[in-house]
Amino acid sequence: MHHPFKPFKIYSLAILYVVFLVGAFSILMASIDQSQRDWKRYTYEALEKTAYFNDAMVALGYGGFIHDFKNAVIRQDLSYLRRAETEIELGLDSLQKYQQRAPEHTAEVRAIQSVVSQYRHNLPKLRQMLEEKQSVADIDRVVRVDDTPAIEAIEAILSSHAQSPNSLFEQAGSAHQRVNHMLLVILCALVLVSILVFSFIRYVNKRLAIKLKDLEVIFRCAPNAIFSVNEHGTIISANRETMRLFGFSERALNKINVDDLVPSATKEKHKKLRLEFQKSDRVQPMSQRNTIFYGKKLNGDVFPASISIATYGVGDEKHSIVVIKDLSDEMQYKSQANTDPLTKVANRRAINRQLAAAISRSNRQQTPLAVCIFDIDHFKAVNDKHGHLVGDDVLQRVAKIFSDAIRKTDFVGRWGGEEFVIILEDTDKEGAKHFADKLRQEVKRRSQGIDFPVAITLSAGVSVYCQDDKQDCLFNHADQALYRAKESGRDCVVVI
């Protein structure tokens, strides 16, 4: 007998399935839309924060305010000071905007602001001393600021930024898993409501295509180099930054092996490390402690970089996503922080650090150590008579002679003004005196030729390290020896 409620039950079941499918698809679309909004919001926020941070670094960095501030001191030029006063305000404004969008870096931003505020506090003093035409050494002593906290804070922020691509992959993986799970549930119901589900599948595929397109745009526009490789190391896809960084086009995809993008000396080691990473699904930086990874462009240029790799399975194959950040600019900032901008030799900060390390090695290895301080005689008269441009030229030429004369184990830097310091490791008293006098004679001879704009002489003070002496004591002895050399008529070397 025909059951009177059977059609009703069938219709009810059909309606329930339709409601289920509609509900499932609604949840799926909501998840896709939310994921898309989250990706866009995260990307826009990251780009905005990066832009403000970059603006702050350009305005305050060693190509901006710091550069002009130090040039104002060294060259005693008020035009650099005026530019520095404008740049510091722009930099602080950008830094404040970055802090508002990156509260997790409040401590680092405050450290940078503290250092910059010290510079701003010294601007009136610098202007007054420049107008009074005080010496570079006096000005530097009054307005000098320790940049170390700001440099450490910048490095911490940059290191944090370098980890952001990993979170992007994790979020993408989580969103992908959610979408796959929902699609599986919907496909199981497809047997009963195939016609209805078919139309929904087309709709969902369209939305997924939009989602994948958004991910592709993010992939291509990412500020770091991102590319994927198969289990053989062949690059199968790459964003624009990867092609720009390594110097190849889309036509080269599937033809370049990632092992060819490292220096030849580390190629085999890199290949072994890559194969180890591919053995399991994981995400981690491909680096070793206290070392820097180096990449190689197709034209042969080598550059420092940080690198992260995520491995995953595609069927029976292992694929990897590689994220590379070029550290060339960061390394350049570090180099500029320890280099005298005029002579391109080490500055006072670098000299102090190198001297401390040399003393430590001397104590540990029981080897001799000597310090030489050279001073250009009557350098103020050179500036007064020939102008500061000629004086700068003389400083640069003297620094070049010093750099060419030292060994690989020696160290040369500009202490300030017309004073240079050379650290001679594994060198005793006689060796240091002979070296200093030979260098003095070489500068005197070269300055009398056509290479130099004016003839000059040098006075030098040499001190030899005694075990367990303090760093200040060693340097003060060399300074005293230099003073005696000047009292003795200049153009000579005195040893303590």
CATH number of 338-495: 3.30.70.270
pTM score of the predicted model: 0.42
Residue 415 carries which side chain, given as an amino acid letter? W
Q: Which residues in the chain are classed under CATH 3.30.70.270? A: 338-495
Give 208's contacts (C-beta < 8 A, 6+ positions apart).
32, 179
Catalytic residue IDs: 418
Beta bridge partners, 425, equal 369
pLDDT lower than 70: segments of the chain: 1-14, 17, 20-21, 24, 28, 31, 35-36, 38-39, 42, 59, 61-63, 161-176, 178-180, 182-183, 187, 189-201, 204, 208, 215, 218-220, 277-292, 314-315, 331-332, 334-336
Euclidean distance between CA atoms 460 and 440, whole angstroms: 8
Is it true that domain 224-329 has CATH number 3.40.50.150? Answer: no
DSSP 125-173: HHHHHHHTT--HHHHHHHH----HHHHHHHHHHHHHHHTHHHHHHHHHH
Q: What are phi and psi of 175, to 5 degrees?
A: -65, -40
* pLDDT at residue number 166: 59
* pLDDT at residue number 287: 47
Closest CA to 130 of 86, 63, 68: 68
DSSP 178-243: HHHHHHHHHHHHTTTSHHHHHHHHHHHHHHHHHHHHHHHHHHHH-SSEEEEE-TT-BEEEE-HHHH
Angle between helices 78-101 and 65-75 (to 10 degrees): 160
* pLDDT at residue number 434: 96
* pLDDT at residue number 102: 80
Euclidean distance between CA atoms 43 and 33, whole angstroms: 15
The 10 Å CB-count burial string (b at 16+, else e) for 57-86 is bebbbbebbbbbbbbbbbbbeeebbebbbe
Q: Which residues in the chain are classed under CATH 3.30.450.20? A: 224-329
CA count, 13 A, side-chain hemisphere, 424: 23
Euclidean distance between CA atoms 124 and 137, whole angstroms: 17
Euclidean distance between CA atoms 403 and 406, whole angstroms: 6
- Cβ–Cβ < 8 Å for 411, 351: yes
Strand positions, DSSP E, 255-345: 283-285, 293-296, 302-314, 317-326
- DSSP helix/strand/coil, 257: strand
